[in-house]
A and B are shown apart, each in its own frame.
Chain A
Amino acid sequence: MLNGAAGRRFLKRRPASPPPSEPPGGGEALRVVDVTKWYGSVQALDRVSMSVDVGEVVALVGDNGAGKSTLVDVIAGVLAPDSGEFYVRGERVAIRSTDDAALFGIRTVHQEHTLADNLDVVENLFLARELHRGVGPLRRLHFASMQQRTWAALSELGISTISDIRAPVEKMSGGQRQTVTVARATLQNYPIVVLDEPTAGLGVAEVQRVLQLILRLRAQGTAIVIVSQNIEEIFEVADRIVVLHLGKVGAVFRRADTTPEAVVGAVMGIA
């Protein structure tokens, strides 16, 4: 089993620090097995197991309180589960912190607590994953290249309304902030991307951009878990649909073999 420190060593042998995406069509990227999480006397997750393959989009759906965000937080290393096992590319790992998750190639875009208002777009996008230049005591942030990649990421998401990427994000509208949050997922070619409600608060055109982005990441071989309340959206991008109901996996569908009605039924617990 790889824990954080071992993972660090494991990744050091690789050329680039964020591991490159593997080519599409290559096996399982992430599997969680029997994850259980209690909040006091409330069981948020009850032996939840799920997996996502390389180049696959798995949608996580469920009613409010079904445990979607808890599962996302556990995968992201934000919450410690009471029990459960994690496998990244078939190898058992321990995700004890957000840093561990990043080292194993998992990038999570949360729904809440995503941006530091006082920092600008560039700094928020690269927070804790900054690009540097120079060595030793003169090792410093490489603003020019971070800026360049920020423009690239934003233009892919079709953001023409953000004019100053060096201005604090607190001045931005909800949609702009959400887009900045989603753009984080695209920056450093993480092989596993988890998106918690990436389209919440976005306009129609912006939603389409995000869905296109998800499909492009998928084509690159990224394994994607997306949490969404919007069944239509899910049917546009997901390959598989995992329904959580009251903290348990209620059903798993292949998109090709199911209908929105069946998924809604499972969400409500009547199927």
Chain B
Amino acid sequence: MSEPVSPAAHPLDEIPPRDHARPTDRLVSFAKRWLSAALSQGTAMPAIASLVIIAVFFQSQSQYFLSPGNLSNLAVQATLVAIIALGEIFVLLLGDIDLSLGSMAGASAALLGVMITNGHMPWLLAIFIMLAFGALLGSFQGWWIAWLGIPAFVVTLAGNMGFLGLQLYILGPNGTLGIFDPNIAALSGTELPVSVGWILAAIVGVAVVASTLVRYARGGVAVRSLSRPVVVGVLIVVAVAVFNASRGVPTPFLILIALLVVAWWVTMNTSPGRHLFAVGGNAEAARRAGVQVKRIRMAAFAVSGTLGAAGGLIAASYNGSAGTLTGGGTLLLEAIGAAVIGGTSLFGGRGSVWAALVGALIMSGVENGLDLMNSDQPVKYMVQGVIVLLAVSLDTILRRRQSRGRQLGAAIA
């Protein structure tokens, strides 16, 4: 037996005592370890840097960019892309891709239109059926991918065309269905009252701090993680302050945050969630360890389909209609770009659900900023293309440097 290792002690909790360690040395060594830990965890650093650059650049071009009113608009614009990107992340973590989410959103929006406008169905029931429809189509694709082993790229490409056909078929000859239900319109068109926004922020902030303290007291969390609730708390306060300076927290953004929190909890704290990462990291090892790889894969496509339908709901609510163009255009590609810019690997196993938010803010931020500069659509597309390329390259280069460092370290060890 070796020297007993105290189970509670985490290496980062106690920096080993050194003879002449000055506080600055300790700080530097702590910062280095923190940075290397942050870099190893599917980093969001390039994405956050891009956000800062975008903010500074567009603010210098248009004083309106960082105004509360525009930031609120931006948040609402980013919501649709972020929800689709979140669905995409569930399958990207496996190393798969879902190319069908655009027409998934369109087809489910069309279904919603038929149920609400032609069928006069209660809105909650219609939403439930719509989401179930997305889950069903997603599972159907997942079945082909998981059980028959057909590449996701092919199945979802076929799905994209098939669902577009479904969308047009549901819409029928008129092409567009108006959706005038006030409850559905409220999903994207309202804001929380200022006081409610603050109360919500206070509740969430207290919950975050309390849960961290409880976990810390139990020894399940390291000192390095204690900075996180502080950052989260500051972000919440700033965001609510900005929204309240305009019209209040937008409802769709709140829905997005709620979805992200649930997705984050599931991916970080449950077995199926961690199995997504395991399968994406090494599918054969996961299978040998006893992970139900096929079930996980099918479930992931069910989730992505459901979130595609949720995107359709937000789009239909925002536009007040479901049409042939709903979910079309560059929506899908923007969503995939957002997920990848946010730090989700296309090769599986790396990333975080928060990439959906950060990436969507970048994509929509560029579009919004260029709009303020009166740029044309061609310019917007080209700039977005460059940003996707740069963000992903930066991420890849950082990772390569880091893995080279690891090989060196292993050789020395």
Interface residues of A (CB under 8 A from B): 76, 78, 98-99, 102, 108, 110, 113-119, 123, 127-130, 132, 139-141, 143-144, 147-148, 151-152, 154-156, 158-161, 163-164, 166-168, 170-174, 176
Q: Which residues of A contact B265 (CB under 8 A)?
A: 140
Is the beta-carbon distance between B288 and A167 smaller than 8 angstroms? no
Q: How far does the alpha carbon of A171 sit from the alpha carbon of B413 in the complex, in Å?
A: 11
Q: How far does the alpha carbon of A78 sit from the alpha carbon of B291 in the complex, in Å?
A: 12
B404 → chain A closest CB, angstroms: 12
Q: Which residues of B contact A166 (CB under 8 A)?
A: 10, 222
Q: How far does the alpha carbon of A243 sit from the alpha carbon of B286 in the complex, in Å?
A: 30
Is the beta-carbon distance between A155 and B274 smaller than 8 angstroms? no
Determine, out of B70-78, B275-283, B306-314, B334-342, the stretch whose residues face the partner at the interface.
B275-283
Q: Which residues of A contact B410 (CB under 8 A)?
A: 171-174
Determine, out of B1-9, B323-331, B360-368, B384-392, the stretch whose residues face the partner at the interface.
B1-9
Answer yes or no: B401 CB below 8 A from chain A CBs: no
Q: Which residues of B contact A129 (CB under 8 A)?
A: 289-290
Is the beta-carbon distance between B409 and A171 smaller than 8 angstroms? yes
Is the beta-carbon distance between B271 and A130 smaller than 8 angstroms? yes
Question: B374-411: which have CB < 8 Å to A?
Answer: 403, 406, 409-410
A-B residue pairs in contact (CB < 8 Å), sample of 27: A110-B288, A113-B288, A116-B278, A116-B285, A117-B349, A118-B277, A119-B274, A123-B278, A127-B278, A127-B289, A128-B271, A128-B290, A130-B271, A132-B271, A141-B270, A141-B274, A143-B220, A144-B220, A147-B220, A151-B5, A151-B6, A151-B7, A155-B1, A160-B3, A163-B11, A168-B41, A173-B410
Is the beta-carbon distance between B7 and A148 smaller than 8 angstroms? yes
Is the beta-carbon distance between B291 and A127 smaller than 8 angstroms? yes
Closest to B292 in A: A99
Is the beta-carbon distance between B413 and A117 smaller than 8 angstroms? no
Q: Which residues of B contact A140 (CB under 8 A)?
A: 265, 269-270
Q: Which residues of B contact A171 (CB under 8 A)?
A: 40, 406, 409-410
Q: How far does the alpha carbon of A128 sit from the alpha carbon of B288 in the complex, in Å?
A: 9
Q: How far does the alpha carbon of A184 sit from the alpha carbon of B41 in the complex, in Å?
A: 23
* Chain B interface category by residue count: 35 or more
Q: How far does the alpha carbon of A228 sit from the alpha carbon of B271 in the complex, in Å?
A: 33
Q: Which residues of B contact A108 (CB under 8 A)?
A: 288
**Which 10 pairs, one residue from A and one from B, show the smallest C-beta to C-beta distance?**
A116-B281, A128-B290, A118-B281, A144-B220, A148-B7, A118-B349, A113-B284, A127-B289, A151-B7, A140-B269
- A115-B285, A151-B7, A156-B1 known; A168-B290 Cβ under 8 A: no
Is the beta-carbon distance between A102 and B290 smaller than 8 angstroms? yes
Q: Which residues of B contact A113 (CB under 8 A)?
A: 282, 284-285, 288
Q: How far does the alpha carbon of A168 sit from the alpha carbon of B4 in the complex, in Å?
A: 23
Q: Which residues of A contact B3 (CB under 8 A)?
A: 155, 160
B302 → chain A closest CB, angstroms: 17
Q: How far does the alpha carbon of A170 sit from the alpha carbon of B399 in the complex, in Å?
A: 12
B163 → chain A closest CB, angstroms: 30
